[in-house]
A and B are shown apart, each in its own frame.
Chain A
Amino acid sequence: MTTDERIIKYLENELSPEERNLFEKDLKNSAELRDDLNKCLKVKTETDELKKLNLNSLYLNSLIPEFRQNLDAPKSVSVRRNLGYAFGIMLIFILSISILKNFFSSESPTVILQEFTQSLNENQKIKLLEDLNGDAEVYKLVSENISDNELTNLLTTELEINNEVAEAYDISFNELISGLSQQKIDEIYTEILNRNF
């Protein structure tokens, strides 16, 4: 048992008769223990004295009239407050549902991009590719406004479109050249090259 424990138990009358006798014997022999006991007694004395404090009688006399006034006051304030709480809770509930709905139904940019490219026909794909390849401003604008991941996905998708269009162009090219002069063939070929295929 620490010194503090012994002292507090002594003050609280919680020591056994033997422990109490021993404590009182130690008190006579130890100045340090007496000093510690005095410090603890100060806590006791201070709280005991402050226990006797009286409240201002004017204040005390005002408590019951105020209580009676509160009791008789119309309940409109608390009804209004409860309505406020109910409205707040409803608002939070609606917001939570809409956030959760968006969270579960939202698709990643990659999925959206893939769906978008799949929805395009060949001509639309070519047009999109022209815009991306031919217009540096568009590319810059796109690349500045999307994340690296999204950009990578976009370029991958672009490559896929490139291949698809290249295949399509290859068929068209063979069909086209069958009835054309060499000069015309060269012109078309140069045009295709200029379009970055």
Chain B
Amino acid sequence: MNVKTDDHQLVRDFLSGNEQSFNILARKYQERIYWHARRMLGDHDDAHEIVQQVLLVMHSKLNTFNFSSALYTWIYKITATRSLNLIKKKKLKQIFTFSSDKTFENYGYENIIEDIEAKERFLRMEKHLNSLPVKQRQVFVMRNYDDLPYEEISNITGKSIGALKANYFHAFRKMKELMEKNDY
């Protein structure tokens, strides 16, 4: 049994009333949801909020899942949309509170990554990621961290492959420049 049919079976079990199947699915995907949200939002608390939101959406909307695609694509789409919505919400909040804080300084929950050296590198990269425009950041995260092919990114974001490639190129070049500036 492959991952897709495995997931589909778990969804069917959940829809027929087995809550334990939902827990298995949640446990399987929660970390990936967290990382996508964290890389997009640059903040632990926001990423945590997205994980909880996505789990709630999964629980209430799994009955609308049509089994034609992989479950993860469906979950990923929800995660990506929710993350973008939260970014927009935060930007609006910044405008209305006249806040000049454009970078996300609150890295939150200190022990989320146990390896100290890796944590430092992660935070440095996160800072660079957050200096990318949202569209570029999104395609960079999906391509480099989540290893999604352009076709799938296009399916999730609704953007053309040409536009995605252009955004990725700019994102990559900017990341290279930022890393160069910071003496990696």
Chain A residues engaging chain B, CB cutoff 8 angstroms: 4-5, 8, 39-40, 42-44, 46-51, 53-56, 59-60, 63-64, 66-67, 70-71
Contact = CB atoms under 8 A, between A and B. Distances in A.
Interface residues of B, number: 33
B114 interface: yes
In the complex, the 7 A-B pairs of residues with the closest C-beta atoms, listed nearest first: A47-B144, A67-B55, A43-B175, A63-B30, A4-B173, A43-B176, A39-B176
A40 B168 CA distance: 13
29 contacts: A4-B169, A4-B176, A8-B168, A8-B173, A39-B180, A42-B184, A43-B172, A43-B179, A44-B144, A46-B179, A47-B144, A48-B144, A49-B121, A51-B145, A54-B31, A55-B35, A55-B113, A56-B111, A56-B113, A56-B114, A59-B109, A60-B27, A63-B26, A63-B30, A64-B27, A67-B26, A67-B55, A70-B52, A71-B59
B51 A63 contact: yes
A41 to B, nearest CB: 10
Contact of A46 (B113, B114, B121, B168): B121
A60 B175 contact: no
A105 to B, nearest CB: 31
B15 interface: no
Contacts of A55: 31, 34-35, 112-113
Chain B interface SS verdict (over half): helix
A40 B112 CA distance: 28
A50 B56 contact: no
A43 B31 CA distance: 23
B51 to A, nearest CB: 6
Given A46-B125, A47-B145, A59-B112, 9 more contacts: A42-B179, A46-B121, A50-B145, A54-B31, A56-B112, A59-B109, A60-B31, A64-B23, A71-B56
B118 interface: yes
Contact of A67 (B52, B169, B173, B184): B52
Contacts of B125: 46-47, 50
Contacts of B122: 50, 53
Given A4-B173, A64-B23, A39 B52 contact: no
A160 B184 CA distance: 84
Contacts of B105: none
B101 interface: no
A196 B83 CA distance: 78
A66 B30 CA distance: 12
A64 B172 CA distance: 35
Nearest to A65: B23
A87 B31 CA distance: 39
A70 B122 CA distance: 30
Contacts of A48: 144
